[in-house]
Amino acid sequence: MTIRTGLLCVALMAAGAARAEDFTTIPPPALDQLQTANTTETVVLAGGCFWGVQGVFQHVKGVTSAVSGYAGGAPATASYDRVSDGDTGHAEAVQVTYDPKQISLGRLLQIYFSVAHDPTQLNKQGPDHGTQYRSAIFPANDSQAGIARAYIVQLNLAHVYKAPVATKIEPGKVFYAAESYHQDYLTLHPTDGYIAYSDIPKVRELARRYPALYRPEPVLVGSGDLPQN
């Protein structure tokens, strides 16, 4: 995995880079989740380093938990050291648990596609390269998969990006929680060079673009709250 230090931030700024992300305004999904009696649903989203993706969704109203982890590969290789090799099939991912009465899957995907990462990048985000950084949605059921697929088609037909959406839908995959030191990383290390340059702008953009959905205080992963694999 790419070394994430203050040196990265200094080097990029010295090169004249203005910001880590070029944020794109996108329409809401035409097909969205139907109202249900459920108070808890879960979807797993991958879009580069999980630190930033987790940090964004921890600031979204209606999200009750956002846990960094791995999805797409076997349980034996669901560890940071192995996933970093790029040959496990895993992606760095975030398990987002939310209340569909407060926020729909479609609205979460709108944030995912417009703020959390660049969905046109294939197997990379910013300085990070490899299949473990791919853009992927791991749906919990057929309904989620259908909404995600329809939204990707909608965005491509609308030509809101300069390139096609590279996000893949990968159903039937198990999520494995990452090591505890990866949890709440953005909140715990806001001055880290990688976080300051690549991820803090995403949270700021969330607040600017979706003020009604933004919560100033993040919902954090408490000790003992990690899902058991």
Query: Helix (H, G, I), strand (E, B), or coil: what is residue 67?
Result: strand
Structure tokens at 26: 């996108």
Beta strands in the chain (DSSP E): 41-47, 63-71, 91-98, 124-125, 128-129, 135-138, 168-169, 175-177
Candidate list 20, 49, 137, 177, residue with the active-site label: 49
CA angle 91, 97, 100 (to 5 degrees): 130
Calculate the CA 156 to chain-centre distance: 20
**Cβ-proximal residues to 139 (8 Å cutoff; 6+ apart), any chain:** 43, 44, 145, 148, 169, 171
Query: Is there a catalytic annotation at residue 9?
Result: no
For 201, phi then psi, to 5°, come to -60, -30
Structure tokens at 190: 């806001």
State how far the Cα of 20 lies from the Cα of 56, in Å rounded to an integer: 14
What per-residue string of b and e applies to 141-160 under the rule 16 or more CB within 10 Å gives b?
eeebbebbeebbebbeeeeb
Active site residues: 49
